[in-house]
Structure 1
């Protein structure tokens, strides 16, 4: 496995790689700032915390409608009257409907004006997320602060799958502990020393790591994500730390991002990738 020095140009010439990264960064800022991007999330409300089906926000506001768990059929039941102002599939809702989990704001079936109500399910628990294009975080957004592109942080990596997938319990940004599935470890070398990260394997074969490093909490956000592509058949994979990502909870407090699992705090400063959200 190659050392950090001399890994520049793995994705093409230095100038080409830098331009590709610049385009990636611009697209990332545009995606984050979309009307229903992560900046638009104003709340995640768990049905388990509801009183008589009423979901209450931190400021005491009650969401319209009555949200309850369905009877053993993996749905929730939303009851509303015309006075609640909710729509279902674009039509005013006056009665009850059954809802399954949404893939995100783009598939949400319930709305109230410009707001979209996204149904979420995690470890058997139901929640409703509210996305509002007029959210304060979105109005105050001024971009994403990044470290300068550095081709030395484009590394040769090796994916080493576990014999069987593992689940570890980790803290989440909302203060609760949940399971994080892991499929193997990603190894790479920096300045002659090998480091590893425990990673999840996505449905498309790409990898996902939740990590911290020597910059976390002071020169970058407290933890970050890394999403390398699917490894080759022999396990080799390019690890480009220039594309280290801020987690969704860096853009809105209401996401439930997992913290790094044990062993995923690197003893080095990864001065590459996204650092923090910028505000006006």
Structure 2
């Protein structure tokens, strides 16, 4: 994480504002309204025009007329006929526009899913911020990263029963928090750096039960890195039932309660 020499609390306040601005984006995670698993049978999706199906082992086929207003990525005009899109497992899905909504076509292992992102979703329009623990200077700690001889692809379960994710484990990060030594498997971050996905004694109580995540910068050449546990955040599945988030790697459980970072969010769609 980058520091500027500013007061840590001021930096944290600015970081939290950026975090919540990202959550409020029109087609961000709070805009999800549906999750559909596609099959080879051509079928319609409630509320969407056209038909959608799995075409083969790598592609999803969309059939629509120009009047349906289904616009493919980088296409200047609505689709009029049949098009094939190729989502990649583990990466963000292919985004197809239908009016003000965005339809994300994603691949998860051998399955294909369609998610609808609607700016008018109640989870977005009624969002009033994420509850957090107060900023704690003691939650900023030094860590030491020890790389594996070779990065390895591991399997982790997902919040969706029967689904798995396959992140890359780079090594382990050790640190001490409130006098207790901790060690976590470190995963490769999507945009570089490390990703620490874990549970702790607050999980399922004051924080989301499927765990939280901390993203860090790359460690130094000697493996040292700074961990600001105040920046531990919820995964998308804490905000919506239409996400397919991974669960933490086996054993990634802190031995103490981490009362820092984000707490269980308010779900207006469940109120």
**TM-score between both structures, scaled by the size of structure 1:** 0.84
Aligned mate of 1:75, from 59, 65, 70: 59
Q: Pairwise mapping of residues 153-168 of structure 1 onto structure 2 (< 5 A)?
A: 153-168=139-154
Gaps of 5+ in 1: 1-9
Secondary structure of residue in 1 paired with 2:7: helix
Q: Is the 8 A contact 1:207 1:229 kept in 2?
A: yes
Query: CA 1:245–1:203 in 2, change beyond 3 Å: closer, same or farther?
Result: closer
1:240 pairs with 2:231: no
Q: How many residues align?
A: 261
Once residues 3 and 137 of structure 2 are traced to their aligned partners in structure 1, the CA distance between those partners, rounded to angstroms, is 10
| Shift of residue 33, structure 1, vs aligned partner | 1.0
Secondary structure of residue in 2 paired with 1:121: strand
1:42 pairs with 2:17: no
1:53 pairs with 2:39: no
Secondary structure of residue in 1 paired with 2:17: helix
Give the RMSD, CA atoms, in angstroms: 2.4
Runs of 4+ in 1 over 6 A off after TM superposition: none
1:151 pairs with 2:140: no
Once residues 44 and 197 of structure 2 are traced to their aligned partners in structure 1, the CA distance between those partners, rounded to angstroms, is 31
Once residues 76 and 121 of structure 2 are traced to their aligned partners in structure 1, the CA distance between those partners, rounded to angstroms, is 22
Aligned mate of 2:7, from 5, 16, 30: 16
Once residues 132 and 225 of structure 1 are traced to their aligned partners in structure 2, the CA distance between those partners, rounded to angstroms, is 25
Hey, what does 1:64 align to over in structure 2? 49
| Shift of residue 260, structure 1, vs aligned partner | 1.6
Hey, what does 1:99 align to over in structure 2? 85
Aligned mate of 1:116, from 91, 94, 102: 102
| Shift of residue 201, structure 1, vs aligned partner | 1.6
Once residues 42 and 196 of structure 2 are traced to their aligned partners in structure 1, the CA distance between those partners, rounded to angstroms, is 36
Aligned mate of 1:262, from 246, 250, 266: 250
Gaps of 5+ in 2: none
Hey, what does 1:199 align to over in structure 2? 186
* TM-superposition CA deviations, 1:191-213 (whole Å, max 9, x none): 33321111112355400121111
Query: CA 1:17–1:219 in 2, change beyond 3 Å: closer, same or farther?
Result: same
**TM-score between both structures, scaled by the size of structure 2:** 0.87
Once residues 104 and 232 of structure 2 are traced to their aligned partners in structure 1, the CA distance between those partners, rounded to angstroms, is 27
* Worse-matched range after superposition: 161-170 or 223-232: 161-170
Query: CA 1:184–1:169 in 2, change beyond 3 Å: closer, same or farther?
Result: same
Query: CA 1:204–1:234 in 2, change beyond 3 Å: closer, same or farther?
Result: farther
Pick 1 or 2: higher relative contact order, CA cutoff 8 A, min separation 6.
1
